[in-house]
Amino acid sequence: MRDNAIFFSDSKGHALLSYIVKEAGRNKKWLGRTHMQKIPYVLKAIGAPVPYLFELYLYGPYCQDIVFAIDDMIADDVIEDNSKDTKKYSKFIAGTNADKLIEKYSEYLNTIKKKINKVVEIFSDLAPDRLELFTTLHYVYRKERAMIGSSPAKNDIIDAFKKEKQDKFLDNNINSMLNILIKINFIKVKK
């Protein structure tokens, strides 16, 4: 029997992830490990103060600290993995201590709740491969932009993306997602 104390999960980052899971549940959605990586990345990309650093990895932007945070939150009953086969996939839901952690960091969370709610609403419906495509294109765009000091051309983003992902995604899927990123003003390309 657990004592309902939060021992490992006592940070803004843990509270952010907990709130993301709770918000998804409120919308009758569940999140897997890919969502738990990509939703904080998108939040950071739109200017929310997310206390995690991301690097490009096998499935796009990735943060090892989020993996550790998930383990901490499961140990503290802040979230639960409700999947039938946790080795194959995850199905995170709010745990008994979620509200306690969210309340403790409510001042931080209240400043970004609207952004979190919107990002969770949009991105919790996307399949993991679509999340990977979206966030990796954005990550590559940011990297190219930083290297040249201005907005890169669309073809430069595609070339850099293909260097990272080789043939994992079809050209029409890459172009389609890149056009979405441009249309929603998530990235700006050189004309």
Tokens describing residue 25: 């549940």
171-179's contacts with Cβ under 8 Å and 24+ in sequence apart are 173/133, 174/133, 174/137, 177/130, 177/133, 177/134, 177/137, 178/137, 178/154
The structure tokens 């290297």 sit at: 147
**How high is the mean pLDDT of the chain?**
94
pLDDT digits (tens, 9 = 90+) for 121-152: 999 999 999 999 999 999 999 999 999 999 99
pLDDT above 70: percentage of residues in the chain: 98
The structural domains of the chain, with segments of one domain joined by +, span 12-123, 128-183
CA gap 173, 182 in Å, rounded? 14
Please tell us whether the domain made up of 12-123 is placed in CATH 1.10.10: yes
pLDDT at 44 over 60: yes
